[in-house]
Structure 1
């Protein structure tokens, strides 16, 4: 199933409006999800829309949040999202970080009392649009076991760095700190496929390729898969995201992070408020002239793109290139929607009496 960007954007925005979001917030939330689908990150696009609706129905998402700055210095701040959509709260925080960077060279904002914020790349690229280096990360529902454990204590905890370039597109390193994002398991479940070894373990801690293992008490593995392949490094990266996003802001961390799925209740002994994010922006000209940096970035990109490869038919892929290629294709030909997601969207169309056509 292919659907045009404009049709999918209008429908998604209408769903957020039906939830009670303002025009501004509905448009912004829809944009974050549509950008994920355009960039080929299907796990974080409109496939998540039904999840947001279910959390809203459970009154765990506030459609009209009073987002406030609860603490700040000239270059730092902590924001309370008032249980709003992370799709709205995180851009608020990044705009604040950018404002601080414009005045003082860098800006860093931690966020508490928020929800799932979509793709980290969306927020980091806001800084790139201002010729700054952008950072974005968030903690998430505990699905990942630390190295040597079979207990879910961390989320997939994505982290993103985005760097402006000159003649080339920006370099965007956007990744989960787990071996795979949970959304990739969901994609495998919908398609009836197994997942690669090293992504997930069962309840006993044994490696499995069953994409449904999480529902049976299993857990995702940190980036690296196991200790022999560097999972302690993935664990360390995930811990860093959790601490900066939540311990620093006053959000829930570790096993206390509330689940994204509505049928699971948040822990009854929270250690903070909602989930947490951490975003930052740095002015390049705080370090050297912008044009010199961009020229060197172009040179860096060109050199890596020309690297010799084991397979002459396979070139080195610069971080962010696959997403740009997907965006060009999907803007032209439409966004692919798998049957399971299409059925979810049709259900929302009926629920909110909002038309949805391919």
Structure 2
């Protein structure tokens, strides 16, 4: 099913309003989810909406949070999200980081007591709009086993950098530190497809292509899949995200991070509050004039786009390029939603008494 951006945006805002969010927060939360769908990251868009509603119903999401700064220096801060939507809490933190960067050159904010914050790229692009380099990461529910382990101790723990350019779009490096994001498994489940080898292992530590393997004790693998292919590097990146997002902020880390799904209870012995994020903004002109930087970013992009390739029908893909192509297409032609997601969304519409898709 194809649905226009405006229709899906209105629908999503109405769901958040029905949860009790303010108009401002409903618009912001919908904006974060819609950007994900527009950029082709279907795993983190409106398909997640039912998950937020279920967590709210189980009193694990506060629709009217009092987001506060609990620790602060001129260039750093720690924010408590009051169990609010990460879709609202993380932009608050990034705005704070940007304000600090505007005055001091850079700003760094850790966040505790939050929830799933959508795509990391949304938050970094906020900094790019101000001619800054954006940085965002979050820890997540433990689904990933460290190298050599079959115990789920880390989340998919995405990390994102975004760099402004001149005539070219921003370079946006937005990736999970696991071999694949959990949302990719959810997409495979909806489509009834297997996943590539190297994404998941079963409870015994053997590779499997079954997207349902997590339900029987399996785990996602770190970026690199195994030690021979660099999974220790993926593990290291994921550990960095976990420490900066949670150990630094006072959120839960490692196996204590609460699950995104409502039918699983959070760990009984939490070591912190909610899940954690870490965001940052750096003024480009703190290092060199913005125009010079953007000119050289354009040169960088141009040189990599012109690189020779192994096969004539291939091209070097600049980070963020496929997402932008999807965004341009979907703004014009509509956002595709699979039947399973449409059914979930219409179920929410019926629950709250709003117009179906």
Which residue does 2:107 correspond to in 1?
Answer: 107
Map Cα deviations across residues 129-158 of structure 1 (whole Å, 9 max, x no partner). 000000000000000000000000000000
- After the TM superposition, which residues 217-256 of structure 1 pair with which residues of structure 2 at under 5 Å, given as runs? 217-256=217-256
Aligned partners of 1:299 and 1:196: how far apart in 2? 35
Matched, 1:142 2:142: yes
1:187 Cα deviation after fit: 0.4
**Is the partner of 1:273 in helix, strand or coil?**
coil
Residue 318 (str. 1) matches residue 327 (str. 2): no
Secondary structure, aligned partner of 2:126: helix
| Conserved 8 A contact 1:7-1:356 | no
- CA deviation digits over 1:282-320, x for unaligned, max 9? 000000111000000000000000000001111100000
The separation in 2 between residues aligned to 1:82 and 1:92, in whole angstroms, is: 12
Residue 355 of structure 2 corresponds to 355
Equivalent-residue separation in structure 2 for 1:105 and 1:346 (angstroms): 46
- Give the 3-state SS of the residue equivalent to 1:109 in structure 2: strand
**1:9-29: CA deviations, max 9, x gaps?**
000000000000000000000
Paired residues, what number?
357
Find the aligned partners of 1:356 and 1:90 in 2 and give their Cα distance. 29
Distance in structure 2 (CA, Å) of the matches to 1:2 and 1:28: 23
State the match for 2:307 in structure 1: 307
| Residues 1:35 and 2:41 are matched in the alignment | no
SS of 2:24's equivalent in the other structure is: helix
Q: Using the alignment, how far apart are the partners of 1:284 and 1:8 within structure 2?
A: 35
- The Cα offsets for residues 27-60 of structure 1, whole Å up to 9 and x where unpaired, read as 0000000000000000000000000000000000
Q: Is the 8 A contact 2:112 2:274 kept in 1?
A: yes
**Structural mapping, 1:49-88, within 5 Å:** 49-88=49-88
Q: How does 1:221-300 map to 2 (within 5 A)?
A: 221-300=221-300
For 2:14 and 2:218, how far apart are their aligned partners in 1? 37
Partner of 2:151: 151
Mapped to 2, the partners of 1:11 and 1:325 lie a distance apart of: 24
Structure 2 residue aligned with 1:176: 176
In 1, Cα distance between the equivalents of 2:287 and 2:186?
42
Measure the CA separation in 2 of the matches of 1:304 and 1:104.
Answer: 33
Deviation string, structure 1 residues 55-92 (Cα, Å, up to 9, x no partner): 00000000000000000000000000000000000000
Cα distance in 1 for partners of 2:117, 2:3 equals 23
- Aligned residue in 2 for 1:129: 129
Separation in structure 2 between the aligned mates of residue 71 and residue 144 of structure 1, nearest angstrom: 31
Q: SS in structure 2 opposite 1:161?
A: strand
Q: CA deviation at 1:356?
A: 2.4
Instruction: Structure 2: state its 5+ residue gaps.
Output: none
**Gapped runs of 5+ residues in structure 1?**
none
Contact 2:98–2:106, Cα closer than 8 Å, also in 1: yes
1:159 offset after TM fit, Å? 0.3
Which residue is equivalent to 2:185? 185
- State how far apart, in whole Å, the 2-side matches of 1:244 and 1:55 are: 25
Q: Is the 2:350–2:356 Cα contact (8 Å) retained in structure 1?
A: no
Distance, in Å, in 1 between the alignment partners of 2:105 and 2:63 is 33
Q: Any conservation in 1 of the 2:78–2:112 contact (CA below 8 Å)?
A: yes
Describe the SS at the equivalent of 1:293: helix
Report the 3-state secondary structure (helix = DSSP H, G, I; strand = E; otherwise coil) of the residue aligned with 1:249. coil
- The answer to whether the 8 A contact 1:157-1:177 is kept is yes
**What's the counterpart of residue 10 of structure 1?**
10
Tell me by how many angstroms 1:249 deviates.
Answer: 0.1
1:157-168 matches, within 5 Å, as: 157-168=157-168
What corresponds to 2:194 in structure 1? 194
